[in-house]
Structure 1
C-alpha cells in the first residue's frame, strides 16, 4: 500500500515527496549549491555536492542514508556530469524536485546484550565466502581486534560504487557503535583513507561512522537484539547487492563475534608483530 505521507497530490507540479533521515533533511535545508550527477540509472541517481554525495532512489532500490526514497517506479534520465541544484529543501533533478517529507530512522539501535547478539549472528552461519576470499585475512583479523591498521588494506578494495572492503568496514562501524563500544580509532583511519575509494562509498563510510545504515542492517540489529527472526534478517541483508550485504554481515560478525576468524594470518605491514 502506498505511504500516504509520500503522496504528491498537495505538492507543486514537478515536486515529488520523499523519505529520508533527519541529517539529510538538515543538509538539504541549507542554501542552494550546484552539484554534479555522479551516477544515473532508472532506480538511483547520485549527485556529488561539496564533499558529500546525495541521492534519489526509486521504489524498491536500496535506501542508503544519503539518499531520498520515493514511491516512483523509475527516475527520469539525468546525464552523468550534469549540474543539479541541491538545497532549499530539495534535490532538483531534471524535471523532478524531491525533498525529505517523512523522516525515517537511520541510526543504529543499541544492542542490549552484544555478546548474545554475536552468538545469534554466528549461529545463523551466513555464507560469507564470497567476501572473505576477496579480502586479506590479516586485515580482517586486525579489524576484528579493532586495529586501525586494517583500514588501508580494506578501503576501496573491490569493484563497484561500494567496494566490498568498504562494506565490511561499514558493517563493523555500525555494529561496534550498536554494541556500545567506541569505533573512533577505526573511524579516524577511515576518514584519513577515504580518498582511496569512490565518492559514494566515502559518503556511506562517513554515515556508518556516525552510526547510520541501510534499513536491512537496522533490521538485522533489531533481530539480533531481540532474538526474533534472525535468519530472515540475515537473509534479507545477504540479498543486498552482489556482495554489499555479505560484506556488511562480515563486518558485523567481526564486531560482535570476533572469533569467527580462526585461521592464522600474517601480520599486516606496519602493524606490531
Structure 2
C-alpha cells in the first residue's frame, strides 16, 4: 500500500465510501471516475503540484508506471480512507488536505493593476523563450486564440460564446490547447475581477455548454475552472503577479511551463489574455 502526502479537500467525503473505475493510466498519474463526483480524481507521483481532484503520493518515484499496472475500466473503490484501484492500494487517511479554490478576499484589480500584471507576465513569457511547434494545428490554434482575444475586448456575450466554442477541444493531448487557454483566462479574470464579473460568467457559461466537445480530462479541468478551482502552479503565479515580485513570477512561471508538453504555456497565454481583458474591462 502506498501513502498519500496530500489530497484535494473535496475528496474527503468521497474517501469514506465510493465506487468507480479507472478512466486512464499514464506513466506518473492515473485518472479515476467515481459515482456522484463531478470530475476526475487523479493520483500522481513525482510532483508537488496540487490540482483539483488530486491525490499526491508521498513517494516521488514509483518503480513501475501506473500504465503498467492499471487500465481503463478496472474497478476503483474508496472505503474508510483507503483507495483501491485495480491491484493498487493507496492510504489517504494521513494526507494533508489542500483547497484548490482561488482565494477571494474582496480585492479587485484596478485597470492599471491588471494591465501591469499582464505586462509582467508577458515579459516573463518572452524571457522564458518557450517556442511553440511550427505546425498546421498550432497555426490554426493561433487564429482561434486571436478570435478569443478579440471577443474579450469586444465584451459581447455572443462573440465570447462563439470564440470559446472555437477553442474548446482544439489541439492534441489529454487537455487540448484550447481548453488550457480558456482555463488560464478564467483563472486570471476571476482573480482580477471576482467570480461575479460579466466576462467570467460569459466564459463559464460558454465552457459549460461545450462539455461534450473535448476530452474527459479537459472537461474535468474546465468544470473545476468554472467553479474557481485551479492547480497550485496557477494559483501561486497569480499571487506572485499581485505581489509585484518579478523574481517570484519567473520562478512560478517556470513551474507552470513544466506542465505537459504545451499545457503550461497555453495556460500562461490564456492568463495573459485574461489580464489584458481585465484591464480593459475596469476602464468601462
Q: TM-score, normalised by structure 1?
A: 0.79
Gaps of 5+ in 1: 1-13, 261-273
**Equivalent residue number for residue 260 of structure 2:** 241
From the two aligned structures, give the one with the greater helix fraction. Answer: 2
From 221, 233, 242, the equivalent of 2:238 is 221
The alpha carbon displacement at 1:165 in A equals 0.4
Is 1:32 the counterpart of 2:18? The answer is yes
The alpha carbon displacement at 1:78 in A equals 1.3
**Equivalent residue number for residue 107 of structure 1:** 101
Q: Once the two structures are superposed, what CA deviation does each residue of 1:21-42 show, in whole Å capped at 9, x if it has no partner?
A: 222324434x422x22121123
The alpha carbon displacement at 1:59 in A equals 2.4
Q: TM-score, normalised by structure 2?
A: 0.76
The alpha carbon displacement at 1:162 in A equals 0.5
Inter-CA distance 82–61: structure 2 relative to 1 (3 Å threshold): farther
Greater shift in the superposed pair: 150-159 or 80-89: 80-89
**Equivalent residue number for residue 141 of structure 1:** 150
**Equivalent residue number for residue 162 of structure 1:** 175
Contact 1:175 1:255 in 2 (8 A): yes
Cα distance in structure 2, aligned partners of 1:17 and 1:25: 13
From 51, 61, 65, the equivalent of 2:52 is 65
Cα distance in structure 1, aligned partners of 2:80 and 2:153: 42
Q: How big is the alpha-carbon RMSD for the aligned residues of Structure 1 and Structure 2?
A: 2.7
Cα distance in structure 2, aligned partners of 1:80 and 1:26: 24
From 77, 83, 93, the equivalent of 2:75 is 83
Inter-CA distance 61–161: structure 2 relative to 1 (3 Å threshold): farther
Query: How many positions carry a matched residue from both structures?
Result: 245
Q: Once the two structures are superposed, what CA deviation does each residue of 1:27-67 show, in whole Å capped at 9, x if it has no partner?
A: 434x422x221211231011122352111101237543122
Contact 1:68 1:98 in 2 (8 A): no
Cα distance in structure 1, aligned partners of 2:273 and 2:202: 16
Q: Alignment partner of 1:96: what SS?
A: strand
Inter-CA distance 259–133: structure 2 relative to 1 (3 Å threshold): farther
Is 1:184 the counterpart of 2:176? The answer is no
The alpha carbon displacement at 1:68 in A equals 0.5
Cα distance in structure 1, aligned partners of 2:79 and 2:168: 30
Cα distance in structure 1, aligned partners of 2:171 and 2:46: 27
**Equivalent residue number for residue 40 of structure 2:** 53
Inter-CA distance 61–154: structure 2 relative to 1 (3 Å threshold): farther
Q: Once the two structures are superposed, what CA deviation does each residue of 1:231-251 show, in whole Å capped at 9, x if it has no partner?
A: 222222122211100111011
Q: Alignment partner of 2:72: what SS?
A: coil
